Structure 1
Amino acid sequence: MIRFIAAALILIGVLGLILARVFPGAEALKAIEISAAVAFVIQVLTFRAVVPPKGRPDLPGGMLMRWGAGAVVRLFSLLLYGLVATKLLGLPAAPALVSLAAFFFVTMLAEPLMLTNAS
């Protein structure tokens, strides 16, 4: 779990620096920073849910079901973020949504590598 948290922080940090160059401006930077925080919290929580239960046998296909459920959580959080949070916080939609989706994507790619070491 600690390795995933560290990997997620590094991936989100590096990608955040890249996205700050793609979307210049103070408002865009604020959107990228908030998206990074949202992505980190959601990714850590969903990764925790995906990790196989310790001390109990896993159901056949259980890992795939949990990983799919995590993907659904990410999709709905992206939708809610786009529909509600950007309006409430007054964030520019393009940098906020692109950065959140990109943060989800890169950290989701790291999950299988970390899951093989988590069990």
Structure 2
Amino acid sequence: MSGTREGGDAALRNYYITKLALIGTEVTEAIEELRNGHTATERYYSGTDSRLGGAVSSDVKSLVEKSCGTAKPEGVPSELADIVIRAFDFADEAGFSLAEVILEKLAFNATRGHMHGGKAV
């Protein structure tokens, strides 16, 4: 998508804005998981009673799917995965390597103090 889309620069900019907003919705969904009482590590599958903490093996996932059909993974870890997936999709469409940018930022951030900029979090 790094080229032009029908409608020119304004349409492309609006397309990218929409894609970035979708990343924001995944953040909101992760926050809602916590507000709804789930832990940061809890993973569960919609439409099932399967609530799992920590790592979930492929055997467990297979069991859930066999008993309930294809169940949607839910929880903060799942929402974070969606954020990363959407971010890499965005970068690919825009025409840059997100992995390269992440490495660059990690190297730069290593030169900064823990609470750079006086941020509380």
TM range (shorter): 0.3 to 0.5
Q: TM-score, normalised by structure 1?
A: 0.33
TM-score w.r.t. structure 2 length? 0.33
Instruction: Point out which structure has higher relative CO (alpha carbons under 8 A, 6+ apart).
Output: 1
Higher strand share: 2
